[in-house]
Structure 1
Amino acid sequence: MTINCKGKLIDLTNPKVMGILNLTPDSFYDGGKYKNERDILEQVEKMLSWGATFIDLGAYSTRPGADEISTDEELKRLLPVLELVLSKFPDALVSIDTFKSKVAEEALELGAALINDISAGLLDEAMMEVIAEYHVPYIMMHMRGNPKTMQEQIFYEDLLQEIMFYFSERLSVARSKGIIDVIIDPGFGFSKTLEQNYELLKNLDLLTMADRPILAGLSRKSMIYKLLGTDAQHALNGTTALNMLALEKRASILRVHDVAEAMECIKIYRQLTT
């Protein structure tokens, strides 16, 4: 299973790592950590050297209850960093974590390689039009509502069935617009309780019925640290455990803060499965 990023075919049969670079002051784990050009470039260089295939830039915090920011503010945070990263690492495959079509379009004009949308186009109906126009891979995530309201929408009659129906409908819309390369993200921590997150992870391989690569974004989330009675800063061990399970359950991409440790998971997983 491959996706085309800027003319380069990426084989997702072998799992890949997406390194997270948050540009928000209020991210749940690393908010405000990368404040200047040197820190940003050093972190990107580290992630690439450790083996990240993708770098995911996000300028809008999507943690539960996060404050909204304007499109102009998101662009102000994002575009200078994207330009900086690509000037230093022109071959980097940069993903943009946004649900706004204007942000996606301006980032793609600057050279972003793919778009990571927490709303699968439901928060901005123009998003899929932009994806189709630029012929880039599209990560669509399962979520209800928006970051402010999502944790109020956690009631499901059948969690897995409803998530599958959601992706079936969103994939149908994408196909109708000619979007070819789609990755699905079940949305751990979004519109789900702790127990629902673990039910979803236990059954993650059922999502392969959608016949699309699966991205697992488990890194340092509350489903880990709340269960373990700790915090995001001390959730690396739990993250590593869940990343290995996600690989066993057929995840193709691990979206993480800690690239080196995720690459070690993949190395061990490959040894076990070859």
Structure 2
Amino acid sequence: MSNRVKVMGVVNVTPDSFSDGGRFLAPDAALAHARMLIAQGADILDIGAESTRPGSDPVSTHDEIARAVPLIAAIREESAIPISIDTMKPDVARAAVAAGANIWNDVTALSHSPDALSVAAELGCEVMLMHMQGAPRTMQAQPHYDDVVAQVNAYLASRAQAAIAAGVAREKIWLDPGIGFGKRLEHNLALLANLESLVGLGFPVLLGVSRKSFIAMLDPAASATQRLPGSLAAALAGVQAGVAAVRVHDVAQTVQALRVWDAIKTAR
């Protein structure tokens, strides 16, 4: 992995994702959006076919595969870009990898299904383990932590060790603090202010802050599509802390921000 922070572009083939739900549900629209993100400089594409926004309802395995797999196959026909499947279901991950995905991005850190760890080992792909307190439908009801930084770090370290014990190669494991997933504003800010401790666990860290609601809590007038400045500020805080990749909706703007950031660093 290079030292440059990677940009993961989001392609949601869902009717109900929080910021772009329904925009790319049609196959042609989703493929066109993927092409645009690649042209804008995305290093990874993250394909999601089940919304995990607060209050979202589950999607069947059949529907999730039907939404995601044809898109993954179509992208792979045109590009060698790494593709991530954003799913908690092993059967969806298996179908996605068979279609050309390289990464399993799981908001439950491979804990949703009893066979998730063994399937991840079987697939041999990279895995991204995210922290989430509760389930998407109820996670923002009453999240509570005694020490959010210590608890999130400990949980992710334990899930990484469980993955390794199941046969996942250590070098294929990423960690994600799960900003906005079962966390209040103060929890998100504490995690962002202390990302160095998560980076210090020795795994590459993926940070997803793009357009998230904690930004609107600091700027209530900002709708989901008006949160780019806050998204960039939080992403650059992660870059300063040493994260390996940022997951974003606005690829071109993020690539430019990182280019300027890198230019300033190298001018010292």
Q: AA paired with 2:179?
A: F
SS of the residue aligned with 1:210?
coil
Cα pair 1:167 1:210 within 8 Å, conserved: no
Partner of 1:256: 248
Unmatched 5+ stretches in structure 2:
none
Structure 2 distance, partners of 1:238, 1:144, is 24
Structure 2 distance, partners of 1:127, 1:273, is 40
Whether 2:232 is the aligned partner of 1:240: answer: yes
Q: Give aligned pairs, total.
A: 263
Q: Which of 257, 261, 267 is the matching residue for 1:265?
A: 257
Structure 1 distance, partners of 2:32, 2:99, is 21
Whether 2:181 is the aligned partner of 1:207: answer: no
RMSD: 1.3
Q: Which of 7, 12, 19 is the matching residue for 1:17?
A: 7
State the 1:113 CA deviation: 0.7
Deviations 1:178-212 (A, max 9, x none): 21211100000001001110111011111122100
Identity of aligned residues (%): 36
State the 1:82 CA deviation: 1.6
SS of the residue aligned with 1:56?
strand
Give the 3 Å change call, closer, same or farther, for CA 65–37 of structure 1 in structure 2.
closer
Structure 2 distance, partners of 1:41, 1:81, is 6
Structure 1 distance, partners of 2:125, 2:56, is 28
Q: AA paired with 1:214?
A: V
Whether 2:129 is the aligned partner of 1:137: answer: no
Q: AA paired with 2:120?
A: I
Cα pair 2:199 2:241 within 8 Å, conserved: no
Unmatched 5+ stretches in structure 1:
3-10
Q: Which of 27, 39, 51 is the matching residue for 1:61?
A: 51
TM-score (structure 1 length as normaliser): 0.92
Partner of 2:146: 157
Whether 2:85 is the aligned partner of 1:96: answer: yes
TM-score (structure 2 length as normaliser): 0.94
